[in-house]
């Protein structure tokens, strides 16, 4: 050290200090620069695919409002407008629905006891209307924005064949009581009566020992019986005569009932023009009149029935008389072509549109049972005339309807053969052929 000049030593010391200072200050400045770099406070958006999913319940509550169905029973006097108002639904929505032709037609026919379903949101907005017309057909009206769309929903039914058989007995002397005893519904009993109404008077002709058998459709939806369908075949043994009927749909699509040899069950006249409780007086040329207490011919049949029971035309024809007098009360006379005339006496009222010159169809309501004129209780007095001569309505031979067309007869036989064989198998009795005792009711 002593060999070096002092100036050199001083310079070396100064240089060492400078280097040390630089080494100490450079990292600090770099760190300070890093620590003072600007930081953005903006949130960086997360792509939708990377977003965390919400629980299902929360997602649904955000994506769509909750809805609920409520069923409303139609009361007497209700209208669609009244139902909407009572349930706090928008009149504007009702108007949009009625602008749709199908709902407008269907919902105008709702009846007391039927139900409508309304689907609404928690805020009360109408989302859908459901109208169950019957067990198979449902009309669903759904919101689409500010408008609505209507669609029919048709359930797919399962059709099974059911069998019933019964006998007229002292305990069950009527078709109704015998049918109910065999487990038949009112609907099926009425259909059976309608099939044989041209050949059998169910008030006058039934006897102990008479029997009937039938096969009919039962319609199921989701395993539940919803209604009965048509009777497909039936036989009725009455007073030693066997009447047989089978349902057939012809090549035009028209269905009706025929005898096994192709004769139509329909006749020009039905036997009884009213549903009644009993026959209060029969055809009797030597009857003692209950009011005048003297022998006066009774040229018809008196059907006792409740006041107001509908009376139907026994055949197609034209009203010739509709008036009232002291003896007959309110009465109607119908002309059926040149040969036949029927009369209906003691009515309480005439049906709408029944006036001289009016054309009526078989089975059309023409009036209502009453006790006007010389009558001691409500009943229908019914007369049947052939060429102006009174005949017993119970026994008069009625003209027959046309049979199956010749060119369709083979198709008819092929169609009904398995049905008749099935009914014969379950009932244990065959069908009589045409020309035997099943062909007519007999003469007068």
Split at pLDDT 50, 70, 90, the class of 52 is very low
Q: So what's the pLDDT on residue 435?
A: 32
Distances from the Cα of 89 to the Cα of 74, 92, 104, angstroms: 16, 9, 17
The matching CATH number, chosen from 3.40.50.300, 3.10.450.350, 3.30.930.10, 3.40.50.20, for 157-267+400-444 is 3.10.450.350
Strands 389-391 and 379-386: antiparallel
Determine the Cα angle at 209 with ends 203 and 214, to 5°: 80
Q: So what's the pLDDT on residue 20?
A: 54
- The one-character DSSP state at 66 is -
Residue 29: φ, ψ to 5°: -70, -40
Interatomic CA distance for residues 344 and 303, integer angstroms: 11
Interatomic CA distance for residues 171 and 178, integer angstroms: 9
Nearest to 178 by CA among 211, 227, 215: 211
The matching CATH number, chosen from 2.120.10.70, 3.90.950.10, 2.60.120.200, 2.70.70.10, for 278-391 is 2.70.70.10
The token pair that represents 429 in the structure block = 């009795």
Q: So what's the pLDDT on residue 21?
A: 52
Interatomic CA distance for residues 81 and 74, integer angstroms: 12
- Say if residue 208's pLDDT is above 60: yes
Q: Do domains 65-154 and 157-267+400-444 have the same CATH topology?
A: yes
Nearest to 131 by CA among 86, 99, 157, 97: 97
Q: So what's the pLDDT on residue 42?
A: 40
Residue 95: φ, ψ to 5°: -65, -40
Mean pLDDT over 80-92 rounds to: 90
Q: How many CA atoms lie within 13 Å of 81's alpha carbon, on the beta-carbon side?
A: 3
Q: By the 8 A CB rule, do 129 and 110 touch?
A: no
Tokens 């034209």 correspond to: 318
Mean pLDDT over 67-78 rounds to: 90
Share of residues in the chain with pLDDT > 70 (%): 78
What are 112-127's pLDDT values in tens digits?
888 899 999 988 999 9
The structural domains of the chain, with segments of one domain joined by +, span 65-154, 157-267+400-444, 278-391
Mean pLDDT over 415-432 rounds to: 79
Q: What is the CA radius of gyration of the chain?
A: 44
- Say if residue 159's pLDDT is above 80: yes
CATH number of 65-154: 3.10.450.350
């Amino acid at each position: 050290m002593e060999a070096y000049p002092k100036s050199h030593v001083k310079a070396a010391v100064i240089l060492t200090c400078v280097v040390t200072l630089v080494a100490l200050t450079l990292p600090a400045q770099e760190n300070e620069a890093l620590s003072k770099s600007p930081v953005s406070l903006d949130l960086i958006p997360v792509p939708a695919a990377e977003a965390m999913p919400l629980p299902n319940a929360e997602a649904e509550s955000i994506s769509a409002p909750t809805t609920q169905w409520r069923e409303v029973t139609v009361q007497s006097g209700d209208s669609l407008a009244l139902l909407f108002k009572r349930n706090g639904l928008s009149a504007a929505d009702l108007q949009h629905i009625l602008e749709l032709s199908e709902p407008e037609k269907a919902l105008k026919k709702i009846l007391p006891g039927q139900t409508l379903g309304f689907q609404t949101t928690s805020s009360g907005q109408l989302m859908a209307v459901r109208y169950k017309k019957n067990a198979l057909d449902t009309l669903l009206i759904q919101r689409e924005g500010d408008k609505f769309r209507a669609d029919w929903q048709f359930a797919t039914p399962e059709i099974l064949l059911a069998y019933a058989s019964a006998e007229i007995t002292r305990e069950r002397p009527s078709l109704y009581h015998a049918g109910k005893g065999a487990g038949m519904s009112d609907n099926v009993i009425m259909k059976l009566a309608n099939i044989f109404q041209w050949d059998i008077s169910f008030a006058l002709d039934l006897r102990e020992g008479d029997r009937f058998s039938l096969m009919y459709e039962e319609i199921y939806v989701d395993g539940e019986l919803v209604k009965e369908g048509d009777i497909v075949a039936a036989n009725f043994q009455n007073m030693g005569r066997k009447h047989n009927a089978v349902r057939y749909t012809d090549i035009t699509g028209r269905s009706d009932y025929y005898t096994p040899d192709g004769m139509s069950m329909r006749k020009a006249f039905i036997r009884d023009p009213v549903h009644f409780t009993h026959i209060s007086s029969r055809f009797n040329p030597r009857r003692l009149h209950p009011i005048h207490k003297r022998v006066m011919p009774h040229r018809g049949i008196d059907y006792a029935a409740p006041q107001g029971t509908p009376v139907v035309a026994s055949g197609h024809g034209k009203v010739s008389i509709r008036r009232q007098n002291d003896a007959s009360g309110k009465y109607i006379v119908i002309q059926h072509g040149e040969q036949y005339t029927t009369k209906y006496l003691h009515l309480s009222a005439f049906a709408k549109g029944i006036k001289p010159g009016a054309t009526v169809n078989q089975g059309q309501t023409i009036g209502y049972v009453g006790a006007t004129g010389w009558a001691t209780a409500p009943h229908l007095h019914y007369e049947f005339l052939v060429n102006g001569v009174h005949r017993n309505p119970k026994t008069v031979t009625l003209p027959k309807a046309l049979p199956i067309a010749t060119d369709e007869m083979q198709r008819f036989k092929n169609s009904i053969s398995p049905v008749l064989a099935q009914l014969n198998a379950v009932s244990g009795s065959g069908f009589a052929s045409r020309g035997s005792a099943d062909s007519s009711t007999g003469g007068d």
